[in-house]
Amino acid sequence: MYSFKGQYEHSIDEKGRISFPAKMRKLLSPSAQDRFVVVRGLEGCLYLYPENEWNNVEQALSQANNFTRSGRIAKRNFLRYAEDVSLDKQNRIAIPTDHITFAAIDSKAVFIGMGQYIEIWSPEKLKEADDNLDPDAFEEIFEQVMGGGSQTDVD
Amino acid sequence: MYSFKGQYEHSIDEKGRISFPAKMRKLLSPSAQDRFVVVRGLEGCLYLYPENEWNNVEQALSQANNFTRSGRIAKRNFLRYAEDVSLDKQNRIAIPTDHITFAAIDSKAVFIGMGQYIEIWSPEKLKEADDNLDPDAFEEIFEQVMGGGSQTDVD
DNA sequence: AAGTTCTTGACACATTGTGGCAAATTAGGG
DNA sequence: CCCTAATTTGCCACAATGTGTCAAGAACTT
């Protein structure tokens, strides 16, 4: 099972194209065929789903209840800002202009592997988010995740 | 059950490659296939997980809920500093540049066996950490950790 | 002491990221 | 319709980085 990880900063040309990190590309399942869906994410970043993963998202959304307010809102605001993108022959993706402005991306963008999907951040926004994270938080997170993780059968 | 121990200082070439200590290599489980994950650790060192160990971490992470703020932040700040590495034919690992700068590694690096995983330190930082540890505190910590758990076969 | 295994330096080659430029496509206005 | 402008897509080339291989010397075993 693949899982995106790592962080890569790349520049974006004046046409909105960014080269997709090579290490991430190697994880792509052939069934995705270099096709993705970009969507507005939380905290001002973008989410990039490989096509096969996106199918799961769609399915989850289709089960959202249309007759509750939150179900409708979730569905509407997710799908309306979703667009197909794909890698070109030089392994770049062209991010739609709307999304670039939404994410406040200027000349650089940061890819962050999030397991099943990828986040794309403007470096400035990311830094802001980092600064708001208190310094001990990382340590806490660490203990939480690794503390349980490394001893195989402790929970 | 294997368990990494010991300490080894090796030099690192200008492209960031270090030869992996032979004694540790002999402990690797075949299922890991000479593959690891490096991740930023605490106190400015790096952690190196054999692939099979890392799987436990991934599983813990996959249970973090992407749609809660804290779940997302935990996952992000974990995965973004993690990268796959593997041994080459000369049994070296190439440490990504980001990680080298994070750990302030220059021309030498120290491997420390930590049971299920391995720590990688810049010699200078390690010395600093050692110097900051006063001997009494060490004794205290030792008693605390060892005293409680396993009296049975300590001498 | 001889042979094996490790470590590391040096070199060559492949891949990646990026900027610039050309071709192709689309859209709009007269 | 045609010409032009604007946008999109593709191509090439350079620089930088990453990866693979070989081989000498150190360290360790027997």
For residue A154, pLDDT beyond 50: no
Q: Integer distance in angstroms from CA B19 to C1' D22?
A: 16
Residue A5 has pLDDT above 90, yes or no: yes
Q: Is the CB of A84 under 7 A from strand C?
A: no
Mean per-residue pLDDT, B77-92 = 94
Would you call A114 and B78 a contact, using CB atoms and an 8 Å cutoff?
A: no
Instruction: Map out the domains of chain A with their CATH numbers.
Output: 7-130 (3.40.1550.20)
Residue A151: predicted pLDDT: 45
DSSP for A31-55, written as a single string: GGTTEEEEEE-GGG-EEEEEHHHHH
pLDDT band at B44 (very low <50, low <70, confident <90, very high): very high
- Taking a contact as any Cβ pair under 8 Å apart, which residues of chain B between 36 and 75 contact chain A? 37, 41-42, 53, 56-62, 64, 66, 69, 72-75
Chain A residue closest in CA terms to B97: A8
Pairwise CA distance, residues B147 & B125, whole Å: 29
Confidence of residue B22 (pLDDT cuts 50, 70, 90): very high
Of A4, A139, A149, the CB nearest to B60: A149
Nearest CA in chain A to B50: A150
Q: What is the mean pLDDT of residues B59-66?
A: 79
Give this prediction's pTM: 0.88
Look up tokens 């307010």; give the residue.
Answer: A69
Q: Is the pLDDT of residue A155 over 60?
A: no
Cα(A144)–Cα(B67) distance, rounded to whole angstroms? Answer: 18
| Interchain contact A4–B (C-beta under 8 A) | yes
Q: What is the pLDDT of residues A74-109, one digit of tens each?
A: 788 888 889 999 999 999 999 999 899 999 999 999
Asked if B84 is an interface residue toward chain A (Cβ–Cβ < 8 A), one would say yes
Q: Is A108 exposed, middle or buried (0-12, 13-18, 19+ CB in 10 A)?
A: middle
Sign of CA dihedral A155, B4, B8, B11: negative
In this predicted structure, the answer to whether residue B150 has a pLDDT above a threshold of 80 is no
**pLDDT of A149 higher than 50:** no
